């Protein structure tokens, strides 16, 4: 008796079942408020601001100002 062929690991399983998950809106809003109040969220906003400054157009420092 030969062993059963193994399915390709890259292909999705044939018995894939999707299930709907419901979350409580008040709980999600409370979590969001808590995350926004946390110091890590403030640091993320600061990091985004600093990254944005890197891409701002700057005038050359040693060039004469345009008139």
CB 13 within 8 A of CB 7: yes
| Residue at 34 is within a domain | yes
pLDDT at 2: 56
Cα Rg of the chain, angstroms: 27
Q: Tens digit of pLDDT for each residue in 12-31? A: 666 788 899 899 999 999 99
Q: How far apart are CA 36 and CA 45, in angstroms?
A: 10
| Residue at 40 is within a domain | yes
Whole-model pTM over 0.85: no
| Residue at 14 is within a domain | no
Q: How confident is the model at residue 10 (pLDDT cuts 50, 70, 90)?
A: low
What is the total count of domains within the chain?
1
């Amino acid at each position: 008796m030969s062993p059963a062929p193994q399915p390709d690991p890259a292909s999705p399983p044939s018995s894939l079942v999707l299930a709907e998950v419901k979350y409580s809106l008040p709980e999600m809003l409370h979590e969001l408020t808590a995350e926004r109040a946390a110091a890590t969220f403030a640091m993320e906003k600061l990091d985004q601001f600093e990254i944005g400054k890197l891409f701002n157009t700057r005038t050359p420092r040693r060039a004469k100002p345009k008139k």
